[in-house]
Amino acid sequence: MDKLRVCLFCFAVVCLCSCIQFAEAGGPKKPNHKDGVATARWLVSQTTWGVLSTISVELGGAPFGNVASFSDGLAGEGHGIPYFYMTTLDPTPRNALKDARCSFSVNEFPLGSCGGKDPQNPTCAKLTLTGKLKLVDSNTTEATWAKDVLFVKHPEMKACLLIINWTFHGFQIFKLEIEDIFLINWFGGSQTITVAQYLQPRLWVQE
Amino acid sequence: MDKLRVCLFCFAVVCLCSCIQFAEAGGPKKPNHKDGVATARWLVSQTTWGVLSTISVELGGAPFGNVASFSDGLAGEGHGIPYFYMTTLDPTPRNALKDARCSFSVNEFPLGSCGGKDPQNPTCAKLTLTGKLKLVDSNTTEATWAKDVLFVKHPEMKACLLIINWTFHGFQIFKLEIEDIFLINWFGGSQTITVAQYLQPRLWVQE
């Protein structure tokens, strides 16, 4: 009977550890919904990908959404500006080089912190950053920094660079120059957030 | 010692059942990457949400991406056409009623079947359906059918309808009339899929 108890205790400990690990995997806790700026920066800091929407050259000016991995900085040091590593073999950067108008949509659902709610539930945060998608000059310290932080968040990008030579495909750094912020994270419509408020330096503290 | 064995056996059974449940939760297996049509229909059938990109009225014609839950039919009976349940309190349907040009982007990464690859890895399937986002007349059998299949895939929509009266918010059925299909699911660029090929009836068989 003692062994049974020990076994059940071990099982409980394993479950507890798994739960703690799962909870910690998400990084800093989601901010209170009343703090829209913190929620927006948290989303950009915690997510690894989103959908870039550009004006399609090939589809007569239709809006064209496409998945893109991104980074806004090292963990806990994000600046809020999404940087991308893309090739003009893909239509999104080709579109942006013709017409830089763009939006980038990230949301909370893939983080697993919406508590079982539907992705469209307004309490499951959704952020759209609208602005211009600009090529970053590869000879700048900004491009070097962006590549470094992208490779930390997306190690596969670096691995691919070494293995199949992504440079052969003309991968370059792009960034979103943000002009408008649209955030839904509660009932009652979008929150008003200015770009200046959003870009304020923010120290991420594990709560 | 026997009790310990029984306990470990039960633990193993619980783990195995969880694994089977997890594997089954994803539904039909991902088709072979060479079959682009099947992959596109599989993605639309298995995913529950995506990003709708419209031409923003309020942001001077900028492309505006926004998360939307959708359904293309009951499990195993999807038709490939995404239907949405949205309110004009949200900018996406407002935009579409002014300019119906739209794209809908869904991808494999949230399904958890990309095998640890980066979301931007070309083998992690990405689909963009471009066309027109149209309001469906609420007095048609199409609207009734669409509402039914949306409520099956998104029970919260029906619950909200009953509890907080979504009709008060003017929720209506919209659908994407598909004109172009862009699929990345392997190295070497997008696959060419015609709308006619994509819309062919398809029977989903659990492989």
Is the distance from CB of A124 to CB of B69 less than 8 angstroms?
A: no
* Predicted pLDDT of residue B27: 75
pLDDT digits (tens, 9 = 90+) for A55-87: 999 999 999 999 999 999 998 899 999 999 999
User: Is the residue at A207 inside a domain?
Assistant: no
* Chain A: residue whose CA lies nearest to B154: A118
Query: Residue range A159-174: average pLDDT?
Result: 69
Contacts of B21 (CB under 8 A, 6+ apart): none
pLDDT at B21: 36
Please give the residue range of the domain that contains residue A157.
2-198
- Give domain status of residue A45, yes or no: yes
In a domain, A69, yes or no: yes
Quote the pTM value.
0.85
Specify if A190 maps to a domain.
Answer: yes
Please give the residue that has the higher pLDDT: either B1 or B82.
Answer: B82
Task: Provide the number of structural domains found in chain A.
Answer: 1
Task: Tell me the CATH number at B169.
Answer: 2.30.110.10
Whose CA is closest to A50, among B154, B40, B50, B95?
A: B50
Interface residue of A15, A51, A85 to substitute, partner B, most B CBs within 10 Å: A51
Name the minimum distance, in Å, from the CA of A3 to any CA of chain B.
6
Domain-located, residue A63: yes
Picking from B53, B109, B117, the nearest residue to A53 by CB comes out as B53
B105·A66 Cβ contact <8 A: yes
What are phi and psi for residue A140, nearest 5 degrees? -105, 160
Please answer yes or no on whether A65 and B59 come within 8 Å at the CB atom.
Answer: no
Q: Which of B51, B103, B119 sits opposite A62 (nearest CB)?
A: B103
What are φ and ψ of residue B64, in 5° steps?
A: -125, 110
Burial of A78 per CB tally in 10 Å (0-12, 13-18, 19+): buried
Q: Which of A78-92, A190-204, B100-114, B122-136 has the lowest mean pLDDT?
A: A190-204
Residues of B in contact with A68 (CB under 8 A): 120
What local confidence, expressed as pLDDT, does residue B112 receive?
93
Name which residue leads in pLDDT, B32 or A4.
Answer: B32
Q: What pLDDT, on the 0 to 100 scale, is given for residue A192?
A: 87
Q: Say what percent of chain B tops pLDDT 70.
A: 80
Q: Give per-residue pLDDT as tens, B132-146.
A: 999 999 999 999 999
The Cα–Cα gap between B67 and B49 comes to: 7
Question: Of the given ranges (A17-21, A107-111, B80-84, B111-115), which has the lowest mean pLDDT?
Answer: A17-21
Mutate which: A53, A99, A169, vs B, most B CBs within 10 A: A53
Q: What pLDDT is recorded for position A168?
A: 59
Provide the number of CB pairs (under 8 Å) joining chain A to chain B. Answer: 151
Asked whether residue B207 is assigned to any structural domain, the reply reads no
Instruction: Give A157's contacts in chain B (Cβ within 8 Å).
Output: 118, 120
pLDDT of residue A28: 85
Residue A3: pLDDT band (50, 70, 90) is low
The long-range contacts involving B117-120, CB below 8 angstroms and separated by at least 24 positions, are: B117/A156, B118/A48, B118/A69, B118/A154, B118/A156, B118/A157, B119/A48, B119/A49, B119/A67, B119/A69, B120/A49, B120/A67, B120/A68, B120/A69, B120/A85, B120/A154, B120/A156, B120/A157
Q: Which of B102, B110, B157 comes nearest A110 by C-beta?
A: B110
* Predicted ipTM of the assembly: 0.85
- Indicate whether A16 pLDDT > 80: no
**Does position B102 have pLDDT exceeding 80, yes or no?**
yes
Q: What is the mean pLDDT of residues A3-18?
A: 44
Domain annotation covers residue A206: no
> CB atoms < 10 A from the CB of B3, how many?
13
Chain B neighbors of A1, CB-CB under 8 A: 3
